[in-house]
Amino acid sequence: MVVEMKNVYFQAQAQEIVHDFSMKFEDGKTTALVGPSGGGKSTVLKLAAGVIVPSAGTVFFRDKDIWYMNREQNLAFRKESAMVFQDSALWANQSLYQIMELPLKLHFPSMDKKERDERMNDILGRVGYRRQLTLRPAQLSMGEQKLIAFARAMLCDPSVLFLDEWTESLDDASAQHLINFVQERQSQNNTIIFVSHDFRAIKKLADYVIMIIDGSLSQIFTREQIMEDEDLAQRLQEGISP
């Protein structure tokens, strides 16, 4: 297993958001986390990605407890995985160039500026961002911020992707472009875990769909079940919609 969550709990401000969550995420498979708004999907994703610390329980990445990794192991984990946050999480006081350059400087210290620029321009072109990199996040639309966040996540060629509402705020054409990009990553045997209200993405990409309600794992469905059962697909779509 790439990621395993065992009896994970998470509390914030004395409120339990995730309750006794256990799940194994298979290598090379795509899993969609769905459910009602406010039900804990994004928190589960952040826990799986090692972005937040569980109140109890354990999260493993390739059989290593994320929170007991040494510096070398943690750097390798961060290089191999990447997360796109729902709010894009771009540094407000940095230019887009600085935001994009940092992961390459961190994980490829021997890469020169020309190589970094070539890689950045290639990824930005592939996601459809065309504006200057001297801009700051506040000068972009929400959709443009999402494109930058997605491009930043792909810079180090990760094999494990954590995507939180990654097509949100995008027009249909741009959203479809990113869905196609993720589908390409699937063909490269990437492991992908994502949260989305976009049933188009869920139906096209997910090998497994996990329903999360009130911070707990409610049900697990396979792609075959969703494709073969129109009533199930309709119920899922209605339950996913904001």
* pLDDT reading at 192 higher than 70: yes
Mean pLDDT of 100-111: 96
Q: How far is CA 231 from CA 161, 164, 225, 242, in A?
A: 30, 26, 10, 19
Average pLDDT, the chain: 93
* C-alpha closest to that of 91 among 165, 173, 148, 20: 148
Report the pLDDT value the prediction gives residue 191, as an integer from 0 to 100.
98
User: Cα dist. 52→8, 11, 67, 129, 188 in Å?
Assistant: 12, 11, 10, 30, 28
160 within 8 A of 49, measured Cβ to Cβ: no
54-195-101-172 Cα dihedral, nearest 10 degrees: -170
The yes-or-no verdict on residue 199 having pLDDT over 90 is no
Question: Per CATH, which fold does 3-240 belong to?
Answer: Rossmann fold (3.40.50)
Query: What pTM did the predictor assign?
Result: 0.94
Q: How far is CA 58 from CA 28, 122, 176, 218, in A?
A: 22, 37, 35, 20
Task: Give residue 112's pLDDT.
Answer: 96
Query: Average pLDDT of 16-26?
Result: 96
**Do residues 119 and 154 lie in contact, with contact meaning Cβ atoms separated by under 8 Å?**
no
Residue range 209-234: average pLDDT? Answer: 89
| More confident call, 37 vs 46 | 46
Lowest mean pLDDT among 29-33, 64-68, 76-80, 226-230: 226-230
Average pLDDT value for residue range 42-71:
96
d(Cα 148, Cα 160) in Å, to the nearest integer?
18
What is the pLDDT at residue 198? 86
Reported as type and span, the H/E element at residue 96 is helix 96-107
